[in-house]
Amino acid sequence: MPRLRGHRAGVENLRRVLRAAVELGVPVITLYAFSTENWNRPREEVRGLMRLLAESLDREVDELHKNGVQLRHVGDLAPLSGILKSRIQAAIELTKNNDRLVANIAFNYGGRQEITAAIRKIVREGIPPEDITEDVVSAHLYTAGQPDVDLVIRTSGEFRVSNFLLWQGAYAEYYISPLYWPDFDKDEFYKALQTYAQRDRRFGGLSR
């Protein structure tokens, strides 16, 4: 089948996973939709992915709003078309006061790019080197004001970080699912949370 067929199935799964996150009581979730490296894919595939995002926003945002989902974007909007940027910004504005689930959509996102952008902001603000702390860096990331990542779920049986939330996920637990993303459902999500609940998180120290 065409590659875009798989991408469409993946976009359709976003709805199911977000609904499951609400039902399972997850307060914040970040979905990796399009990386800064994905621009290197064939032009037609990239155009198709942009169309899919626009279509998904038009189709899903009202239901997400009704379910109390607050949509946020993490990444760089600058390279996107004016129409797509306006749709993303409209969805963010519509849902900004919802508090049942914060859903970060990482689109045109890369962990290294994010850290580089944060450093540039810090330099532009003239913050002295001795005043730059981890809290200062965190406050200049796309996810400023949000908690660090507790759990990273990697689908398709892959064992790669793939430039995802490098700073925020420094002490995250990982769950590797053998399922491909379009097949990742509520049951597998719950299994990931159960596995996480059994982990002994020491953050470099010793068990209590």
| Measured CA distances, 107 to 61, 84, 111 (Å) | 16, 11, 12
The DSSP secondary-structure symbol of 147 reads: P
83 burial (CB, 10 Å; 0-12 / 13-18 / 19+) is exposed
> How many CB atoms are located within 10 Å of the residue 156 CB?
13
Q: Tell the residue number behind the tokens 């400023």, with chain if given.
A: 144
Do β-strands 151-154 and 173-176 pair in parallel, antiparallel, or remain unpaired? Answer: parallel
What does the alpha-carbon distance between residue 122 and residue 116 come to, in Å, rounded to a whole number? Answer: 10
Q: What is the mean pLDDT of the chain?
A: 93
Whether the per-residue pLDDT at 20 is higher than 80: the answer is yes
What does the alpha-carbon distance between residue 44 and residue 26 come to, in Å, rounded to a whole number? Answer: 35
Whether the per-residue pLDDT at 141 is higher than 90: the answer is yes
What does the alpha-carbon distance between residue 16 and residue 185 come to, in Å, rounded to a whole number? Answer: 7
Q: Are 16 and 134 in contact (CB under 8 A)?
A: no
The first and second tokens of residue 17, run together, are: 């996973």
User: Of 112, 113, 110, 139, which is closest to residue 127 (Cα–Cα)?
Assistant: 139
What does the alpha-carbon distance between residue 102 and residue 96 come to, in Å, rounded to a whole number? Answer: 9
67-121 pLDDT, tens digit each: 999 999 999 999 998 888 999 999 999 999 999 999 999 999 999 999 999 999 9
CATH, domain range 3-190: 3.40.1180.10
| Residue 15's pLDDT band (cuts 50, 70, 90) | confident
The answer for residues whose C-beta is within 8 angstroms of residue 88's C-beta and 6 or more apart is: 57, 73, 77, 80, 105, 107
What does the alpha-carbon distance between residue 163 and residue 169 come to, in Å, rounded to a whole number? Answer: 11
| Residue 128's pLDDT band (cuts 50, 70, 90) | very high
